[in-house]
Chains A and B, each alone.
Chain A
Amino acid sequence: MTNTQPSSNFQNAAAYLSSSSSLARVSNTIKLELYGLFKFVTVSRIPSTSRPSIFDMTGRAKWDAWATVGKKYERPEEAERRYLEIARTLGWTEQEKGPDKREPETPSAEEDIWDKDEVSRGSSGGSGLAVSVSSMAPPPKVIDNSIHGTALSNDITGLKEILEAHPETDLNVLDEFGYAPIHLACDRGNVEIVKLLLQQGADKTIKDPDNFSPLELSKEAGHIEIVNLLVSTP
């Protein structure tokens, strides 16, 4: 054990995460980091066991995550700070009382979120007969820092940076598919981007390849706030 005890905030956040549904949507990378941080804070800086076999892929990934955290942070307080930071992005607040009221048998220090999560996936139950609901294979995640990319991904900071660095940027430039940034923002429902584009004087009457205006696109996609914004902007 480490010589410092985890703070009540930490225990609170761990309890929150172990019952929070927000964790279900989090990438494994984050889950692994949380796991590593949790182990650092509650057990020791680095794992004392040897690295698990390559066939125990989960165990090995977890071991690696723990070791990585141990290299990155020196003191448990730092790991704890990082843990709380992630917890906050997942909806935890310091007032959150944790799950005691909802779920009586939640986690002892040994039972961390990853383990719980894994159990709930059913694989460790040994059933081996799971049928999952298929949905569409998702499209490529492309990092695109152009004005079109930031309009698509709702990256308001990114778009502002571009406009500050390059005030001469043409806001109405079309991408390879014939869309202006305002088309994409109106279609995907990115209100703040639309606001910024309008402030900066983007053309709100520009037509897309299907001859739709930004207003028509946002109506079609049901983004009422953007519709109102476009209508009220002179």
Chain B
Amino acid sequence: MSASQKSRAKEPEIIDTTGDPELSDNHSDSEGEDQEDHKLASAPSTSTSQKKKKKKKSKAKKLLNAIRGNDEIPQEVVDQVLDKVKAEGGPGSSEANAENVRLALQEMNIMDVVKGKAGVGGLNKKDLGEHKFWGTQPVPQLGEGPPIEDGYIEPSKPREEVRQEPYPLPRDFEWSTLDISDPIQNREVYDLLSLNYIEDDHASFRFQYSAEFLAWALQPPGYHREWHIGVRVSSNKKLVAFISGVPMTLRVRQHVIHVSEINYLCVHKKLRSKRLAPVLIKEVTRQCHLKGIFQAIYTAGIVIPTPITVCRYYHRLLNIPKLVNTRFCFVPRNMTLARMIRVNKPPAAITLPGLREMQEKDIVAVAQLLTEYMKRFTMVPLFNVDEARHQFLSGMGTGEIGNGGPNRREKQVTFSYVVEDPETGKITDFFSFYSLPSTVIGNATYPILEAAYLYYYATDTGLQGGEDSERLVKKRLYALIGDAIIIANEAGFDVFNALTLMDNVTVLQDLKFGLGDGFLNFYLYNWRTMPLAGMNDEGNVPAGKGVGVVML
């Protein structure tokens, strides 16, 4: 019996102890807390430090009560959080002070905490009803300790044992396979996502996935049309829900697994009560099974069972007047707009000699460089040459640079650059970013926010090892990503975004990225692994270096 099977056998018990909220809160808060602690102590767990957890929970509860009860946040709570932030020492923790902690707490509204977006002290380990579905799925359950070794949760099945018929839908709805290469169907997905895909908490911005973005994101080499799944209203064929998967080869620690990258789950606003999401997830899982794929990777802003890591968004502000006007950011108390513009002005010219746009002839060198560089991280995609071509070259748009706005092509989604050594002609570095605009809700002056997202990059600096290599990598990345910011600025982007993954953490502060309010949780389906270093260090792995996957 493997380790993963062993912990699977324990699962029903674990669900029971974390799953029934009514057990623990009958009377007053304090009584509820006692009972919960008792329950926690008797719960079977592979975790080693129950005491620590308990302490964390009651802290978190005080915090929550404070947030829910009134606007004033007690100094005690602020102090506790501040201590915790300093102790964990994540990126930016040196900037933490009582004032910004208090603010952060105020800004976290009730629903953020409930949904676990903000992830305060383990609070999101609560069953909120939604987790009932995840309790039936082969994912590590909340409260279950870290696995002893990596592996699947449910074994793969031969094709004939996979359910052959689609899952039933509510009356009046039907399944539909979408063909993203067909402009009409692509447009249907675009319309559904742009009107119903997730907004930020205050509903100020909404992702705007363009047709060319979807074509790029959903049709990598070897993609399966059957994994682009829609739900239509039977009577008028209107598309009301969507989910997609694309194939990816993923290395998680020493294991290489073929996974489906699940994304763009979207249900029409008016149909949210029909609980279509679980059946969409089941159906895409079934379609993956039919192709012999039994693992998946996906990300979400919220916490569900069970993240393998969480990353935080950072933002390099470029078009300050527009970002302030759209309330993407605010003028700090100690500045004027004029000073903010000056402080954030990117350098006028790129710094690396030999930097140029990537071309077809570079693709083999880039694929090799990337493969080599990605060995630095714990969980990474493995791209062959065709896949690298798709990821970095297929989205470069059509026609001449400049016909799709300043310094960009029409329909350009990806921006990929290489550094060619002027003497040897060797490709020594590479970076890419992609364009994903957001609609600014209710702003007539600036309807669209142009955002660039840092994608994959690599350098041969430091690959030889040696004790100074990390410092050299950091220095090189400062120049490389610094140039990416300059190019994005010249191409008319308003903001340049990055997550706390890969080696980003080492250069974010120096390159004037500011802390974002968004988090991204990473999940694996039917695969257990120990937590990865994302926003925070994990064991001796520094923050970011656990994650080498950039999800679109």
Contacts and interface: CB of A to CB of B under 8 A. Distances in A.
B506 interface: no
A126 B275 contact: yes
Interface string B318-329: 000101000111
Interface stretch (B83-91, B347-355, B362-370, B510-518): B510-518
Contacts of A28: 109-111
A234 interface: no
Contact of A134 (B273, B338, B442, B516): B516
Contact of B207 (A27, A133, A135, A183): A133
Interface string B21-64: 11011000100100000000000000000000000000001001
A231 interface: no
Nearest to A177: B334
A28 B70 CA distance: 11
B301 interface: yes
A153 B130 CA distance: 41
Interface string A116-133: 001111111111111111
B315 interface: yes
Contact of B517 (A55, A56, A136, A188): A136
A187 B313 contact: no
A185 B520 CA distance: 37
Nearest to A128: B304
A130 to B, nearest CB: 4
B113 A120 contact: no
Bin chain A's interface residue count.
Answer: 35 or more
Contact of B99 (A119, A138, A140): A140
A4 interface: no
A140 B321 CA distance: 20
Nearest to B70: A29
A218 B323 CA distance: 17
A212 B298 CA distance: 50
B317 A210 contact: no
A179 B336 contact: yes
Nearest to B342: A210
B330 interface: yes
A5 to B, nearest CB: 28
A61 interface: yes
Nearest to B515: A137
B205 interface: yes
B338 A57 contact: no
Interface stretch (B176-184, B264-272, B393-401): B264-272
Interface string B257-298: 000001001010101111111100000000000000000001
B11 interface: no
A112 interface: no
B300 A53 contact: no
B374 to A, nearest CB: 23
B111 A136 contact: no
Given A136-B317, A138-B330, A54 B24 contact: yes
B490 interface: no
A29 B276 CA distance: 31
Interface residues of B, number: 90
A177 B520 CA distance: 36
Contact of A122 (B102, B109, B267, B520): B267
B432 interface: no
B338 A135 contact: no
A131 B301 contact: yes
Contacts of B169: none
B285 to A, nearest CB: 13
Contact of A126 (B277, B321, B338, B341): B277
A220 B517 CA distance: 28
A58 B114 contact: yes
Contacts of A118: 111
Contact of B267 (A127, A132, A220): A127
Nearest to A28: B109
Contact of A139 (B68, B129, B333): B333
Interface in A193-212: 208, 210, 212
Interface stretch (B150-158, B196-204, B537-545): B196-204
A60 B206 CA distance: 29
A70 B406 CA distance: 59
Contacts of A129: 262, 265, 277, 298, 300, 304
Contact of B300 (A64, A120, A128): A128
Nearest to B113: A57
Contacts of B141: none
B265 to A, nearest CB: 4
Interface in B91-149: 99-100, 102-104, 106-107, 109-111, 113-115, 117, 126-130, 133-134
A131 B200 CA distance: 8
Interface in A131-173: 131-142, 152
A21 interface: yes
Contacts of A21: 441-442
Contacts of A57: 64, 68, 110, 113-114
A140 B114 CA distance: 22
B438 interface: yes
B330 A139 contact: yes
A128 B110 CA distance: 17
A222 interface: yes
Given A123-B115, A129-B277, A220-B341, A212 B336 contact: yes
Contacts of A130: 198, 300-302
B332 interface: yes
B302 A152 contact: no
27 contacts: A24-B202, A25-B203, A28-B109, A53-B25, A55-B24, A55-B126, A122-B269, A124-B272, A128-B304, A129-B300, A129-B304, A133-B198, A133-B206, A134-B315, A135-B315, A135-B329, A135-B517, A136-B515, A137-B514, A138-B517, A139-B100, A140-B100, A140-B103, A184-B336, A187-B337, A208-B336, A221-B337
Those 9 A-B pairs whose CB atoms lie nearest each other, nearest first: A134-B518, A55-B21, A125-B272, A134-B313, A127-B277, A140-B103, A136-B329, A134-B516, A133-B205
Interface of B: 21-22, 24-25, 29, 32, 61, 64, 68, 71, 99-100, 102-104, 106-107, 109-111, 113-115, 117, 126-130, 133-134, 198-207, 262, 265, 267, 269, 271-278, 298-302, 304, 313, 315, 317, 321, 323, 327-339, 341-342, 438, 441-442, 497, 514-520
